Amino acid sequence: MDHDKLVTVMRRLALEAGAKIMEIYESDSFEVKVKSDASPVTEADEAADALISAGLREAFPGTILITEEQAATHEKRAETFLIVDPLDGTKEFVNRRGDFTVNIAYVENGAPIRGVVYAPARGRMFYTLADGSAVEEAGPFDLDAPGQTSPIRVSDPDNGALMVVASKSHRDQATDDYIGKYAVKDMKSAGSSLKFCLVATGEADLYPRVGRTMEWDTAAGHAVLAGAGGRVVRFDDHQPLVYGKEGFANPFFIAYAPKVELKPA
């Protein structure tokens, strides 16, 4: 894989998809359908997916592509592949809350090593460079010419006063019970894969997810966090979260700055 080309293509496609999503988001109304798993899908999900999929297949025809909105791709099995969630946080989009993202990632040997997370309504974009390090780019964003980028790095946390980020739409008692094992200074809520990015920038120290996610939900954020020095491990045994699993479903997990002293499940 040509990582320079990969970063350029992923960044451009994320911006193009973000523009299409915002066009629909800012319209007077949009159609919301319900998928077989009872989750919502909108015309924005489908338009962004078509754009990103076409661009990735043209640029990297020999690489397997997995995307949330194309069920046929979920039957594929590989350890190295591109994976896309064209609109992560559809509930946030439908409720016009802004915490939705475009997620594109590259997984190699079961690990997400490159990715882009773009939050078009928030004007924030995070991605990995060709060398694997993570940056945040400041807007306004130009399709073909990256703007000013700043390296991002996880926090050096105080385990007596941790900053925790949790899901905005999927918060439950099990999550609160686990968070209660830590000395917490403050908590933030965020939607979609922005939670990974808040840990990556040091705005939060810990993100536990005690709930269902799929690999396309997490791969891009995981790649950005890893590029910023962070880790993502399984909730039950604290082993690294790997990708390419059957059905692309994740176990519960914890994303964190490495100096956080993890508590048992």
**Binding-site positions for substrate:** 68, 87-90, 217
Using alpha carbons only, give the angle 72, 78, 84 rounded to the nearest 5 degrees.
Answer: 55
Which SS3 state, helix, strand or coil, does residue 48 take? helix
Query: Dihedral of the CA atoms 93, 219, 85, 214 (nearest 10)?
Result: -90
Q: Which amino acid is at 214?
A: M
Q: 140 is written with which tokens? A: 């306004």
The C-alpha atoms of residue 153 and residue 100 are separated, in whole angstroms, by 22
Contacts 24+ apart (CB under 8 A), 39-46: 39/90, 40/90, 40/91, 40/94, 41/69, 41/90, 42/87, 42/90, 42/93, 42/94, 44/20, 44/87, 44/93, 45/69, 45/86, 45/87, 45/90, 46/86
* Block residue for tokens 């400041």: 138
Eight-class DSSP state of 59: H
Feature table: binding site for Mg(2+): 68, 85, 87-88, 217
